[in-house]
Structure 1
Amino acid sequence: MSTAIVVGAGIGGVTAAVALQRCGWQVTVLERAPELGEVGAGISVWPSAVAVMEELGVKGVEKAAVASRPAGMRRPDGRWVVRAADFGVEIPVMIHRARLHDLITGEFGPGITVRTGYAVETITQDDAGVTINDELSADLVVAADGIRSLVRQSLYPEYAGPQYAGYTAYRGIADVPVDDGGGETWGRGQRFGFARLIDGRIYWYATGNQPAGQGGDHASVSRAFGDWHDPIPAILAGTPPEAVLQNDIHDLPVPLVPFVRGRVVLVGDAAHAMTPNLGRGACSAIEDAGALARHLTGSGPLSTALAAYDAERRPATTKLVKLSRRVGRLGQVEGRVGGAIRDGLLGVGGKLMSLRRRK
């Protein structure tokens, strides 16, 4: 039986474990934290990732109900810039990150062993296999240890690693009645977005330009966005102050490193960490896991399967990293003139797309 070690038990890691288990592999999951689980707030799961979940037998990630009111992009005073319906965009399933993690790990069977509180310090490999900490050996190692991946660093010490995008992000969950389709509101160097989770609560996020390491809290985000259009003030007021998360936004520079080196493969943020502007980070990790399992299912040699995985996933995620970075720069424009031009172009683009769809 083929064996694999998955380093990291975030969304990408546990999905990879389930995918390999379904291929008949024996999997050991190594997690540095003392127990399995996810922190964070909401997460968008796009149709391509939902399809992978369905293939893996993960239940509960179904299509969300249609919003009761229009969604799209607004100005801080509430005026619409463009509505999602104009572009005909799909609305992803919105789910709490911890809930999605629980749904995936609920598929862990006898083919998966979990070791928590385990820190990976060394990794060596040869033609026969890969060894972690001179202790654990397997045919394959899947590195799912995040944007600051120690495995990636050991494989590519010359790679620059994470770079700061120039803005910070706040996230939270509010249990408040909101009859609004959600979407994003773009100001000058600031953005606020919210959406309904499938359990009825409201997931929100906000961004603001500032130097790295400056920090922030519930009071900071309330001062910045408390006078924006309804229901933003109510959402912030309905969020427990201690539950607000703040993180500076980083991504990985392109060109991305190869996702495969020998018997070690990178997935998720370890391979292609991107800014959250497209809401595709976790989805891409899920899709990585599905693609890896699909290529490993064949009868060819391991090296051929891994090369095919890299050839499929690296170009696709490179495009997302670049596009997400560009969207972030556009959304964080500070100047009054630049912001007005941006909003105007988006508004015109939405109208043109709407006319085109009607034709």
Structure 2
Amino acid sequence: MPVPRKAAHAVVVGSGIGGLTAAVALRQHGWRVTVLERAASLEPVGAGIGLAPNSQRALDVIGLGDEIRGLAAWQGPGGMRNPAGRWLSRTDSAAAAERFGGPLVLVHRATLIDRIARRLPEGTVRTGCPGELADAGTAGGRPARVTTPDGDIEADLVIGADGIHSAVRRALFPAHPGPAYSGMTTWRVVVPAPEQPFEPHETWGPGSLWGTQPLKDGRIYAYAAATAPQGGKAADGEKAELLRRFGDWHDPVPGIIAAAAPESVLRNDVHHMIRPLPAYHRGRTALLGDAAHAMAPTLGQGGNQAIEDAIVLAHHTATGLDLGAGLAAYSAERQPRTAAIVRKSAQIARLMSLSGAPAVAVRDALMSTVSRLGPGLVLRTFDGIADWQPPRRTYAAGAQDAHAEPGAHEERPARR
């Protein structure tokens, strides 16, 4: 049944990138929105995030795409190297932008969170306020219910954007095993730019990788990954661990590690959901981002897919439309795409995890051969991912939203 406009209240559990994007997009589609955040502030956990052209087009829908494109810092050549510094494959920022309709933009997560949150009215996000799904509701009748320290909230729609260990997911699908350890741990750090210029790169070694990417503000975002036992921590600190693992790799890697403040090095085990959920909704409750489809970071698509989720969910649940049909359409559209990206990310993670000398030599030779045949072959890894386009409203849907706030549905044309 359609959701009456005056009663349309959505509660978003979690104020990460996906949750905040969903809040903005839902408001533009006529919803009243409350965002519940367990943490005391919106300070994000993490360092940098790469926004590919697919998520930039999604952000176009809420009027943020060009602002994010303006933060692009990678200009010119880059590619993949081995620990000694030899280039295994080469590509160029212009070639990537031409193929997929936009640049790769590396931003600090705090910057992205701030840019999205600015589009929400004061009071929309309630920090220090965890939300627990008490009742998923029924699409055709009973409202959903969320329990908070300040009392219960009834909602026409609840969105679980509460991350990889989502309590909302467990409430909806208690029999699902949830995410599993991928065998990989990661480190992330942001440091001042080194004195010597460098070309952006990702370097693959035996069972490990390192990436060095520029940010628009002049700093450097560096990330590393390696196969490791789950739950491991270095007794002498994670900076010391980076030095042991990567300190003899090519420049600028040793200098970046040296420049890192020990307390700024973030270490996190990587979990992913190889077994997909049967759907991304039940009743009046939907999941998005890591809560729905946690993936390895090897394609850099975790945050990008959360942004896509938010835009597609808002598209299918605009007030005045049938909520049950809209949530079913959201699941049907997002589940196959994200499950495929989870699998592809896991395949690349397995390739990265090769550690034996013969296997690493074959892997490096294959990368070099593909690069020599043409940089376009390397970029094909992202075909079907970075070229995604957001859904379009039909004329009828636009007419149903005719009473929305002025400018709420002004969308920029997707870049091709």
Gaps of 5+ in 2: 1-5, 98-102, 379-416
Once the two structures are TM-superposed, the CA of residue 74 in structure 1 deviates from its matched residue by 0.4
- Give deviations 1:64-106, integer Å, cap 9, x for gaps: 5564552111010000111124994344100000110000001
Cα distance between partner residues in 2 of 1:310 and 1:356: 32
AA aligned to 1:106 is R
Query: What are the residue-to-residue correspondences of 1:1-359 with 2, within 5 Å?
Result: 1=6, 2-58=8-64, 60-64=67-71, 67=74, 70-85=77-92, 88-90=95-97, 91-109=103-121, 113-124=124-135, 125-126=137-138, 127-133=141-147, 135-177=152-194, 178-216=196-234, 217-297=238-318, 299-354=320-375
Identity, in percent, stands at 43
Q: 1:66 to 1:41 in 2, by over 3 A?
A: closer
Code of the residue aligned with 2:48 in structure 1: it is: G
CA separation of 1:318 and 1:355: change in aligned 2, threshold 3 A:
closer
Q: 1:263/1:73 Cα in 2 relative to 1: closer, same or farther (>3 Å)?
A: same
CA–CA separation in structure 1 for the residues paired with 2:311 and 2:328: 15
In 1, distance between residues paired with 2:328 and 2:165? 23
Contact 2:47 2:108 in 1 (8 A): yes
Matched letter for residue 69 of structure 2: E
Give 1:27's aligned amino acid. V
SS of 2:260's equivalent in the other structure is coil
Q: 1:60 to 1:239 in 2, by over 3 A?
A: farther
Which residue type is aligned with residue 170 of structure 2?
Q
Distance 1:355 1:38, change over 3 A: closer
For the residue of structure 2 that corresponds to 1:43, the secondary structure is: strand
Q: 2: distance between equivalents of 1:41 and 1:117?
A: 22
* Cα drift, residue 255 of structure 1: 2.7
**Partners of 1:21 and 1:98 in 2: CA distance:** 22
Cα contact 1:152–1:270 (8 A) shared by 2: yes
Q: Could you tell me which amino acid in structure 2 is paired with residue 48 of structure 1?
A: N
TM-score (norm 1): 0.94
Matched-pair contact (CA < 8 Å) for 2:26–2:318: no
The 3 A distance-change label for structure 1 pair 5 and 213 is: same
Is the partner of 1:161 in helix, strand or coil? coil
Q: Give the Cα separation in 2 of the matches to 1:28 and 1:355.
A: 44
Deviation at 1:257, TM superposition (A): 3.3
Gaps spanning 5+ residues in structure 1: where? none
| Structure-2 change in CA distance of 1:339 and 1:88 (3 Å) | farther
Farther-moved stretch of structure 1 (303-312 vs 126-135): 126-135
Residue 194 of structure 1, CA deviation: 1.2
Counterpart AA for 1:332: S
Separation in 1 of the partners of 2:81 and 2:305?
27
Contact 1:15 1:286 in 2 (8 A): yes
Bigger CA drift: 41-50 or 298-307? 298-307
Report if the CA contact (8 A) 2:71-2:107 is conserved: no
CA distance in 2, matches of 1:82, 1:138: 51
